[in-house]
Amino acid sequence: MKVVILGYGFIGTIHLNAYQKMNDVEVAGIYSTTKTGSIEGIKVYNDLDECLELADVVDICLPTFMHREIFEKAVAKGKHIFLEKPIAHTEEDCRFMLELEQRSNVKIMVGQVLRYFPEYRQLKNKIDPGKPASSLLSRRSQLPVSGKNWSLDRKNSGGVILDLLLHDIDFACWAFGPVTRIFAQSDTEHYYALLTLRHENGSITRLEGSWRYDGGFVQEAEIAQENELFTYNSQEVHPLQVHRNVLTSKDSTEIPAVLLRDAPWYLELREFIDAIRYDQPVPITLQDAYESTRVALLALKSADEKRPISLVKELNA
């Protein structure tokens, strides 16, 4: 199967690494607006149409605000699509893409990768789905500095809520079900946010997202149910830590250290490729991802308007 990777930033690099472990996948090209030549022997294209021609499957790793346009082209050309989260940065783009999907015949999967982190899977499997939960989810890192800094611009990325906290919002929707009420606060730059979600089953989830944390990347979850408490903090479970006495430069975009044979990014892409190969439903559909993306977009609205947003009212309006 021939895959092209569209966009070779932070996440494109990780995806290439994952595909290189698959015997049945050939990365036929990489589309980049900033790079030229070749990467690990794979030709880099600056012309999107030329690159798309090579592919059975496209993997969209471009900045969020470009998703809609690229997605439309890929659907028009009948390519299977792996779409990096978030789907898009506006409700309008999300709906446009959902409509395109309705009329298409291709496999489309969204990379809500936290669902492939075994610690989050454990939490989801251990909680009692019949009982409401009270949760604290936190995700913190230093300020990510990407090539064109698009992710720091709230207009293009949705800021810390859509770009970073969406991981945990998606987990909350996945683990505790649909959300009925949202309240969000953020700083003016949208580098830091606090959210409370009320779910249909009575669960309450509170989230903290920060690009203002220089204490090392952390993902954290604390879930309480009747007579039960689950806790997880990525900084307390490092299985290996290297301490060097030389100065090293840190990557600006921090990700959790994963010491597993199959990294979550490999698992999600492997399942997507298998869904195409065996013509099975994809594990995370555009509609699935839209549910949590919409919550994140309404959280942005709540933060702007400084009021709680009821999804029931929003739907009837």
219 binds other proteins (CB under 8 A): no
Between CA 30 and CA 252 the distance in angstroms is 22
Q: State the nearest-atom distance from the C-beta of 159 to other proteins, in Å.
A: 14
**DSSP, res 251:** P
Q: Which of residues 223-262 bind other proteins (CB under 8 A)?
A: 224-229
Q: Minimum distance from CB of 249 to other proteins (Å)?
A: 19
Contact between residue 107 and residue 274 where contact means Cβ atoms under 8 Å apart: no
Question: What percent of the chain is helix, strand and coil (3-state, nearest 5)?
Answer: 40, 25, 40
CA atoms of 32 and 51, how far apart (whole Å): 10
Given candidates 18, 194, 289, 298, which one binds other proteins under the rule CB under 8 A? 194
Burial readout 25-48 (b: 16 or more C-beta within 10 A, e: otherwise):
bbbbbbbbeebeeebeebebbeeb
- Pick the stretch among 50-58, 145-153, 201-209, 272-280 that binds other proteins (CB under 8 A): 201-209
Mark 126-155 with x for binding to other proteins (rule: CB under 8 A) and - for no binding.
-----xx-x-x-x-x---------------
List the one residue out of 159, 146, 145 whose CA is nearest residue 191: 159
Minimum distance of other proteins from residue 35's CB (angstroms): 34
Q: Applying CB under 8 A, which of residues 32, 141, 157, 210 lies at the interface with other proteins?
A: 210
Binding-site ranges for other proteins (CB under 8 A) = 131-132, 134, 136, 138, 140, 181, 183, 185-187, 192, 194, 196, 198, 202, 204, 206, 208, 210, 212-215, 222, 224-229, 306-308, 310
